[in-house]
Amino acid sequence: MLDIEMTFEDSDVRRQFEPTPVLIGRGSQCGLRIVNWRVGRQHARLLRQDDDIVLEDLGTLAGTLVNGARVVRHAPVLPDDDILIGPCRLRVRWVAPDDAAPALAFAVAVAPALPNAAVPTPAETAAPSIATMPLPPIAPQRVQARRRLHAALLDALDLRRRDVAGMSDGTLRAEAERLLTHIVASDVDLPDDAAKQALCREVLDEAVGLGPLEPLLAAPDITEIMVNRYDEIYVERAGRLWRHPAAFTSEQSVRWVIERIVTPLGRRIDESSPMVDARLPDGSRVHAIIPPVAMKGASLTIRKFPQRRPQMSDLIAAASLSEAMARFLALCVRMRKNVVVSGGTGSGKTTLLNILSNEIPDGERVVTIEDAAELRLNHDHLVALEARPANQEGRGHIAIRELVRNALRMRPDRIVVGECRGAEAFDMLTAMNTGHEGSLTTLHANSPRDALGRLESMILMAGLDLPLSAVREQIAASVELVVQQARLADGRRVVTSIVEVAGMESGRIQLQELFRFDRTAGFKGCGALPGFSQGWSDDGVSMDPAWFTETSMPKGAPSSKSAPGFP
């Protein structure tokens, strides 16, 4: 007999004894019943072969995980194996019937269970979820048809219990398309052929792909996708946000898409851990959050990875900076100046950092460190590191600060940190000042002065017990250039200021503005040459002083005053 201990997301622990074989799923015929949207009708099976306990996944879309890895068949099942099915974590061991009787009696006395009862889950006992909120009065006929076909296709995949885990994406899509063809052939209430093909494509995308997000991800002019709830999708085009008419069929469909994104990466999202960061195969950054934290329903934000690597010429063409500013920044990177790119959320910091990093000369060893990998450097000698969040047990967390410290042991010529957010700022400044000149990073701030203030705060909050004067001296000795980015009201991203850090005076860091953006005059030099350029002529590096006096009015700035036409 199997002794099965079940731990749910709300830490509720149940114990059940079952003879083998035992069927696990949400269907009424299952001996171990878990009623949850992430559990198939017949999800998995436990059986005994020889002296071993064997676990078999029955081809469900959500899959079965053992010790964090998705499995089709796992044997032998050991007492300390961690089995995850939907919201339930299982531990299984074999007990002789005589040994099971007293424990079974005790379990029944403590927590009586209904015969062949459905195992209560947190989803059943919690307050009504977003799915119970009132929906629009009557869905359009097309949406109703999508929902009907989507439910029928999922039922067909579930009933066939195909080995979904062993299928490639192409094979799974072909199988789903074949099943959908049979379903459509028997449905007499569908529209004409042209509309029927589009409807089938939408249903197929939602069942085995990313649903209505597929065409949005393929659109080259969309840079960000925001799902507020299943029927509310916004996109960013040309720096501005627009409501898109696309929608999912239900709240559950959004959750399936989120599961489809995070499961291959070995990450989880559930009621006990309702937030997750991930990325798509093309590198696009994904953030998902579900109830109970998301009040309106599951929310999804995708920052698309550019299909084409942007160049400095693209920024000039987009009127993000002047040609003189671009030449000066490229020269500073080549001459190993330490640069901090500052700006607000969505101001284009990472894009500019990526472009500046591509100015690093060949032959130098570059180590990039990011919270979520976004940089794409055209560099041969490159090591890319990415931070890792803790697992469900709270273990395995690797912070950016730890990666920065390890990067110093990797003999880097340059260190590029995607974004400084905490104590790693001190290690980054130390690297800039100890033989790793020419390093680059970004941080969130609204002005160059605020950027230095944020660096001070991050170091002081790191618990290093350094006096403020020492912190400021470290910043003044390490950072040489601050580049300020901003997103204007029309959606255009521009470099609003380039500032030289000119040392300390009377306990205050001195700044010298070299370039600035004026809304009426455009980009203009401030008339001052950078102090660090005095030695460049000795090295045979030429810099045109006219860069710092000329004024350039941006031309051809993209217009975003009219809403885009959506298909």
Stretch (H or E) spanning 338: none
- The tokens 């959050």 sit on which residue? 289
Q: 330, 360 in Cβ contact below 8 A?
A: no
Look at residue 558 and tell me if it is in a domain.
Answer: no
Look at residue 567 and tell me if it is in a domain.
Answer: no
Structure tokens at 197: 């093909």
Residue with more model confidence, 324 or 188:
324
Look at residue 133 and tell me if it is in a domain.
Answer: no
- Residue 302 sits in the same domain as residue 316: no
CATH number for the domain that contains residue 75:
2.60.200.20
- Alpha-carbon distance of 429 to 236, in angstroms, equals 34
Look at residue 217 and tell me if it is in a domain.
Answer: no
Per residue in 502-561, pLDDT (tens digit) is: 988 888 999 999 999 988 888 999 988 888 887 776 677 778 888 888 888 766 554 444
Residue 35: what pLDDT? 84
Give the range among 48-52, 77-81, 163-167, 319-323 with minimum mean pLDDT.
Answer: 163-167
Above 60 in pLDDT, residue 301? yes
- Percent of the chain at pLDDT > 90 equals 23
Q: What is the mean pLDDT of residues 215-222?
A: 88
Structure tokens at 419: 């974004």
Dihedrals phi, psi of 63, to nearest 5 degrees: 85, 170
- Residue 503 sits in the same domain as residue 525: yes
Give the range among 55-69, 126-140, 444-458 with minimum mean pLDDT.
Answer: 126-140
Look at residue 561 and tell me if it is in a domain.
Answer: no
Look at residue 218 and tell me if it is in a domain.
Answer: no
- Residue 155 sits in the same domain as residue 110: no
Give the range among 70-74, 191-195, 223-227, 362-366 with minimum mean pLDDT.
Answer: 191-195
Beta-carbon neighbour count of residue 358 at 10 Å?
18
| 360 band by pLDDT with thresholds 50, 70 and 90 | very high
CATH number for the domain that contains residue 230:
3.30.450.370
Q: Which of 306, 325, 359 is the last residue of a domain?
A: 306
Over the chain, what is the mean pLDDT? 80
- Alpha-carbon distance of 236 to 225, in angstroms, equals 7
Above 90 in pLDDT, residue 341? yes
pTM of this prediction?
A: 0.67
Radius of gyration, CA atoms only, the chain: 29
CATH number for the domain that contains residue 399:
3.40.50.300
- Percent of the chain at pLDDT > 70 equals 84
Structural domain range at position 238: 224-306
Please tell me whether the peptide bond between 567 and the residue prior to it is cis, using omega within 30 degrees of 0: no
- Alpha-carbon distance of 422 to 424, in angstroms, equals 5
Look at residue 337 and tell me if it is in a domain.
Answer: yes
Above 60 in pLDDT, residue 243? yes
Q: What is the mean pLDDT of residues 160-182?
A: 66
- Residue 299 sits in the same domain as residue 322: no
- Residue 277 sits in the same domain as residue 375: no
Residue 507: what pLDDT? 87
Residue with more model confidence, 200 or 49:
49
Q: Which residues, in sequence order, are bridge partners of residue 487?
A: 493
Q: Which residues, in sequence order, are bridge partners of residue 288?
A: 276, 300
Residue 99: what pLDDT? 52
- Alpha-carbon distance of 188 to 106, in angstroms, equals 56
Which residue, among 17, 61, 56, 19, has the nearest Cα to 39 in the 3D structure? 61
- Residue 458 sits in the same domain as residue 396: yes
- Residue 321 sits in the same domain as residue 259: no
Q: Which residues, in sequence order, are bridge partners of residue 227?
A: 233, 300
Residue 117: what pLDDT? 37
- Residue 234 sits in the same domain as residue 91: no
- Alpha-carbon distance of 261 to 277, in angstroms, equals 10
Residue 463: what pLDDT? 78
Q: 36, 86 in Cβ contact below 8 A?
A: yes
| 428 band by pLDDT with thresholds 50, 70 and 90 | confident
| 378 band by pLDDT with thresholds 50, 70 and 90 | confident
Residue 98: what pLDDT? 54
- Alpha-carbon distance of 298 to 231, in angstroms, equals 11
- Residue 233 sits in the same domain as residue 202: no
Above 80 in pLDDT, residue 152? no
Q: Which of 291, 306, 321 is the last residue of a domain?
A: 306
Q: Which residues, in sequence order, are bridge partners of residue 522?
A: 518
Stretch (H or E) spanning 345: none
| Eight-state DSSP code of residue 519 | T
Dihedrals phi, psi of 127, to nearest 5 degrees: -65, 160
- The tokens 């198939």 sit on which residue? 40
Q: Write the CA distances from 186 to 151, 176, 295, 475, integer angstroms.
A: 15, 16, 39, 71
Sign of CA dihedral 153, 154, 155, 159: positive
- The tokens 């048809």 sit on which residue? 145
Residue 424: what pLDDT? 86
Give the range among 19-28, 82-91, 94-103, 455-464 with minimum mean pLDDT.
Answer: 94-103
Q: Which of 306, 331, 362 is the last residue of a domain?
A: 306
Q: What is the mean pLDDT of residues 193-204?
A: 71
Overall residue count recorded for the chain in this entry: 567
- Residue 330 sits in the same domain as residue 456: yes
Dihedrals phi, psi of 376, to nearest 5 degrees: -135, 95
Look at residue 466 and tell me if it is in a domain.
Answer: yes
Per residue in 460-502, pLDDT (tens digit) is: 888 778 888 899 999 999 999 999 999 888 888 999 999 999 9
- Residue 52 sits in the same domain as residue 181: no
Q: 348, 485 in Cβ contact below 8 A?
A: yes
Per residue in 175-197, pLDDT (tens digit) is: 777 777 777 776 656 666 656 77
Above 50 in pLDDT, residue 562? no
Residue with more model confidence, 563 or 206:
206
| 158 band by pLDDT with thresholds 50, 70 and 90 | low
Above 50 in pLDDT, residue 119? no
- Residue 316 sits in the same domain as residue 302: no
Task: Indicate the number of domains in the chain.
Answer: 4
Residue with more model confidence, 326 or 103:
326
- Which of 8-22, 248-262, 479-493, 530-544 reaches the highest mean pLDDT? 479-493
Strand, helix or coil for residue 204 = helix
Report how far apart the first and last C-alpha atoms of the chain are (Å, whole number). 59
